[in-house]
Amino acid sequence: MTNPLDQVFAALADPTRRAILAMLLEDDMAVTDVAEPFAMSLAAISKHLQILAEAGLIAQEKRGRVKWCKLEPDALRAASVWMQGFGVFDPVDLDAFERFLADELADPSSP
């Protein structure tokens, strides 16, 4: 997968990775602190972090013996700009849609 936008959306498709990003919104975190709330191995968390880093969503750096993770919002910005392109459509009027469906699906034998 070489398209950066594809990598971002693939990374965001996993709920664990989305949870990690939400945690990193607060502050930089050590990998061990990122792993703490999850019921999975440190190796599994490291794989998730690698995918996030490859997508450009996080950066990792060593500080002494500890590997730290930091949110990189620029990759999300590109995805946001892409999604905003779909905002040109009028919002759906759900009440009108419900009335339309009721009319269309109404039993023709009922008055």
Residue whose entry in the numeric block shows the structure tokens 């019921």: 39
Q: Can you tell me the mean pLDDT for 80-105?
A: 74
Phi, psi of 4 (to 5 degrees): -60, -35
End-to-end CA distance of the chain: 58
Q: How confident is the model at residue 8 (pLDDT cuts 50, 70, 90)?
A: very high
Q: Does the pLDDT of residue 97 top 90, yes or no? A: no
110: helix, strand or coil: coil
pLDDT in tens, 30-81: 999 999 999 999 999 999 999 999 999 999 999 999 999 999 988 888 888 8
The domain ranges of the chain are 4-105
> How many other C-beta atoms are found inside a 10 Å radius of the C-beta of residue 7?
18
Q: How confident is the model at residue 100 (pLDDT cuts 50, 70, 90)?
A: confident
Mean pLDDT, the chain, integer? 87
Where do the DSSP E strands lie in the chain? 29-30, 58-63, 66-71
53 residue type, one letter: A
Is the entire prediction scored with pTM above 0.85? no
Report the distance separating Cα 55 and Cα 58, nearest Å.
Answer: 8
Whether the Cβ atoms of residue 78 and residue 7 lie closer than 8 Å to each other: no
Q: What is the CATH number of domain 4-105?
A: 1.10.10.10
